[in-house]
Amino acid sequence: MVSSMLTFDNVKAAPATKHDALGARTRMGFFLTWMILKGLASDRHAAAHARLSSRKISPLASWPPRKTKLTSDDFVYKGNQLALNIYRPSRYQARQSGDDGHYVDIFDSVFPVKDKEEIEAADTWETYDKIREKLDALFTTSTRRYLQGFQSAALGKVDQSVAQLLPSFLPETTPEHEQGVITDLSKVGVEVTSLMELRTSPIPYPEAIPILIDWIENLEDRTNPDHQRQLRMELQADLQKTEAHGVAFHPLIRLARRDDLDIIDRASFGLTASLIATKEQFDDIVALFEWPNPDLYLVSFLSRQIQRSTTPEAKEILLKSLTSTNLSGYAAPIVSKKAWVEAIPTIRGLLRNPDNPVFVTEELEKALYELEFIQFQQQNSNVLDDLVGRALATTDSKELAYSARILAQANRPEIIPALERGRRSGTPLERRDIAKALKTLQTAQAN
């Protein structure tokens, strides 16, 4: 499973402290040993627990020789909460003046000078115990101590100093409709107050994914009908994290195909599935379009997964979506952006429908305008002198607008008189391009 890994420390961070790479490995190794003995390390370190507990090996023997980073993959969720509080990477936690709760400061207090010989001789239980005593003193501090304080910074929305002044957007108590899933999460060591807290924390939560999937598949049997849709949306949001990719996809597809569910919920499941789909899973997304009446899924499947795909099936879906009453307004700008000029006849035909909603008509007109410009550009980019003459002579506002876009880029000020004459004629799209080209050429002349 791919994980959204969080890095707490690495050998490259050594220059920012008093110690070199060797000292950084020692610092990380002691912390890892402490976490293993607290039962907060991940399964990858399970074999070292018994040997460290009996002290039959040195405290740094658990640190692999080629390992250069201390990451969230080294710990379980609860361990990562604690590590985040004690290590406090600068991206998520601002170190305060006089703050004695930072592990780097603890290590530096035990090794106050950059002494390579002292570091090399540090791999003893006596030295470890000095650090252990200081870490144990912090262990009684709630692992939730800093979580709400840095939540906005963790999301990358605001500076840490600003985030600390903001009121928390997380609920202080568990919402009633989330109590069951929050209780189940705590049983696997994922202790949070709400599903929002789970996804807004920078800590990966692979342990939580099976619980979230189990709940979303059995929601009707566990939750009051009045709260089902709200809880379903919360669970889907939590399943969009990187660690859920490849695991949550097939359960979501199964839910999208359930005829007993409301069509809005099925569309929502399909959208979430498409957002986390891999290239290998694209066929499952495509298969949803083979059902009768795919319009029921509205814009759900015009997602980035469909848009990014280079498969013929994806192109076929998007082109077919143009003819859908509910989808054409959303498919048109995508088709235009992809420069699929073969869609021009279809769009022209759709624009002849007098019953089109205003939004659909506007999007189709913009797409047709851009696609026809692409054709015009392909035919005229290599005959600029001829294009200048045609621009000066034409009375067709679209031809003038298209010519202006090409000639302004080529810096051909000869057409300025034609642009000044034609800037108030034509459609809004044509007037926009004429005015933009005129401004570009006049600015170039002035400079």
Q: What's residue 185's pLDDT?
A: 94
What's the pLDDT score for residue 316? 80
Domain at 176-373: CATH code: 1.25.10
In terms of phi and psi (left: phi > 0; alpha: psi -120 to 50; beta: otherwise), the region of 426 is left
pLDDT at 32: 94
Describe the crossing of helices 428-446 and 397-409 by its angle, rounded to 10 degrees.
30
Alpha-carbon distance 228 to 222, whole Å? 9
| Contact residues for 147 (Cβ-Cβ < 8 A; gap 6+) | 81, 84, 197, 201
Highest mean pLDDT: which range of 5-14, 261-270, 420-429 = 420-429
Q: What is the pLDDT of residue 155?
A: 39
Where do we find the tokens 């899933």?
181
Cα 411 to Cα 439, 443, 446: the distances in Å are: 11, 10, 13
| Residue pLDDT, tens place only, 336-392 | 999 999 999 999 999 999 999 999 999 999 999 999 999 999 999 888 999 999 999
- Contact yes or no for 86/135 (Cβ under 8 A): yes
Quick check: 406 and 387 in contact, CB under 8 A?
A: yes
**Are 417 and 384 in contact, with CB atoms under 8 Å apart?**
no
User: What integer is the mean pLDDT of 163-168?
Assistant: 40
What residue segments make up the domains of the chain, in order of their start?
Answer: 7-163, 176-373, 381-446
Whether 176-373 shares its CATH topology with 381-446 is answered: yes
161 pLDDT tier (thresholds 50, 70, 90): very low
- Between 151 and 331, the more confident residue is 331
**Which pLDDT belongs to residue 429?**
96
Please give the distance of CA 43 from its chain centroid, rounded to a whole number: 27
Q: Which residue has the higher pLDDT, 291 or 316?
A: 316
CATH fold for the domain made of 381-446: Leucine-rich Repeat Variant (1.25.10)
Least confident of 181-190, 227-236, 250-259: 250-259
Average pLDDT, the chain: 80
301 in Cβ contact with 271 (< 8 Å)? yes
